[in-house]
Amino acid sequence: MIEVEDLTRTYRRAPLETQVLRGVTFRVRRGEFVVIMGRSGSGKSTLLNILGLLDQPNGGRYVLDGTDFSRAGDDERSAARNRKLGFVFQQFHLLERASALRNVTLPLLYAEQDPGDAAGRAEQALQAVGLAHRARHLPSELSGGEQQRVAIARALINDPAVILADEPTGNLDAQSGREILEIFRHLADAGRTLVLVTHDRSIAARADRILVLDAGRIVGQETVASHAAGAPPGAAGHL
C-alpha cells in the first residue's frame, strides 16, 4: 500500500541546512497498522507529512496505492489527499461553528465525483465511531475524546486507502486515549491501513509493527507479536 524508498528531506534556511530525513526506506502492507516512533526532532512528523502528501521529499520515491507521488504537482496531491488519505490530528482540527455531521462531510466538499448522499454517509461514519447520537452537536459541546472520534469519522468518509494519525491521543486523558486507540485497532482488524506517529510506547503496543526513527533514519523495526499481520480480524467487521 505504501512504498518508501531512500526518502530524503532537507530544510534550507540560509545559511543553515537541516537534513531531517536521510534516506528512509520501508513498506506498509494493505491492512497493516504501523506506528512510527521517535524522539522529537527525529523526523517522524516530516515523514508523516510526506506520507500525507502535505510535503514533498527532496529525493527518493514514494508510492501510495500504486501511484508514484514523488514528483506530483499540488493539484494532483490535493486530489489524492481527498481520495486516498484520511487524516487524524493531535488537535482534532474541527470547524468550531459547524455540527459534528457538517465536520464529517467536509472532505466531500472537495471530492471530484458526486459523493451521493453526503449526510447519510456522514451518519454512517459517525455510527462507526459510536457517535451517531451526537451528530447535531457542535465540537464545543463534545468531550475531547468525542471530538477526536468525529475527526476519525471525517477521515473515514471518503473510504481512504490509508489513515494517517499524528499523536491522535496526545491531547486526551488516558481513558479517552485508550478508547481512540481501540477504534484504530478495530479499523486495522477490519482491513484498514493505518500509519500512526507517536512517542508513546503504550500506544505502539497496539500496532502490528513499529518503526523507530532517529536522526532521520530508521534505526529499528519490531513486529508486535499479538497483532502480527494476518491476525484474525476483529469484531468491527462493519468498518
Partner 1 sequence: MNATQWRHRRLARGVLLSLQLLAAHRLRTALSVSGLLIGVAAVTVMVAIGAGAERRVLERVQGMGANLLVVSAAPAQRVAGRPRQIPVYTMLRAADAAAIEQESALAVAAAPAVNGSMVVRWEGVNTTTIVTGMTSAGLRIRNIVPASGRAFDDEDDRERRRVALIGPTVVRTLFGGADPVGRVVRIRNVPFEVIGVARARGVDPVGADLDDLVVLPFETATRRLLNIPYVHTLFVQARSISELVGLEREVREILSGRHAGRSGMLDAFVIQNQATLLRTEREAARAMNQLVVSVALLALLAGGIGILAVMLISVRERTREIGLRRALGAKRRDIQIQFVLESAMLAAAGGLAGVVVGLAVAAAAAMFGPWDLVISWHAAGLGLACSTILGLVVGAIPAVHAARLEPIAALRTE
Determine the Cα–Cα distance for residues 132 and 124; give it in Å rounded to an integer: 8
When binding is defined by CB under 8 A, the residue of 13, 15, 17, 113 that contacts partner 1 is 113
> CB of 119: closest distance to partner 1 in angstroms?
11
Write down the least CB distance from residue 91 to partner 1, Å.
8
**Selected binder of partner 1 within 55, 65, 179, 200 (CB under 8 A):** 55
Cα distance between residue 207 and residue 186, in whole Å = 11
Q: What single DSSP character describes residue 98?
A: S
Tell the burial category of 220 from Cβ atoms under 10 Å away from its Cβ (0-12, 13-18, 19+). Answer: exposed
Residue 140 binds to partner 1 (criterion: CB under 8 A)? no
Q: Which amino acid is at 230?
A: G
| Residue of 9, 44, 102, 192 that binds partner 1 (CB under 8 A) | 102
| Binding segment toward partner 1, per CB under 8 A, in 75-83, 139-147, 193-201, 231-239 | 75-83
CA-based max dimension of the chain? 54
**Residue 79 in 3-state DSSP?**
helix
What whole-number distance in Å separates Cα of residue 38 and Cα of residue 200? 9
Query: In whole angstroms, what separates CA 148 from the centre of its chain?
Result: 12
Three-class SS of residue 196? strand
Q: Of 196 and 210, which CB lies nearer to partner 1 in the complex structure?
A: 196
Q: Under the criterion CB under 8 A, does residue 79 sit at the interface with partner 1?
A: yes
| Residue 75 found at the interface with partner 1 (CB under 8 A) | yes
Is 112 a binder of partner 1 (CB under 8 A)?
A: yes
- State the CB neighbour count (10 A cutoff) for residue 206: 18
Bond prior to 15 in cis (omega within 30° of 0): yes
Dig out the grid coordinates for 22 from the structure: 536521510
At residue 144, what is the residue type? G
The count of residues interacting with partner 1 (CB under 8 A) is 29
| Nearest distance from C-beta of residue 11 to partner 1, angstroms | 11
Binding mask 203-222 for partner 1 (x = CB under 8 A): --------------------
Residue 164-203 contact track with partner 1, rule CB under 8 A, x = bound: ----------------------------------------
Q: What are the phi and psi torsion angles at 186 (to 5°)? A: -60, -45
Helix H or strand E segment including 20: strand 16-28
43 in contact with partner 1 (CB under 8 A): no
Work out how close the CB of 195 gets to partner 1 at its nearest, in angstroms, rounded to a whole number: 15
Q: Which is nearer to partner 1, 39 or 97 (CB)?
A: 97
Q: Which residues bind partner 1 (CB under 8 A)?
A: 49, 52, 54-55, 74-75, 78-79, 81-83, 87, 89, 93, 95, 97-98, 102, 106-107, 109-114, 118, 154, 158
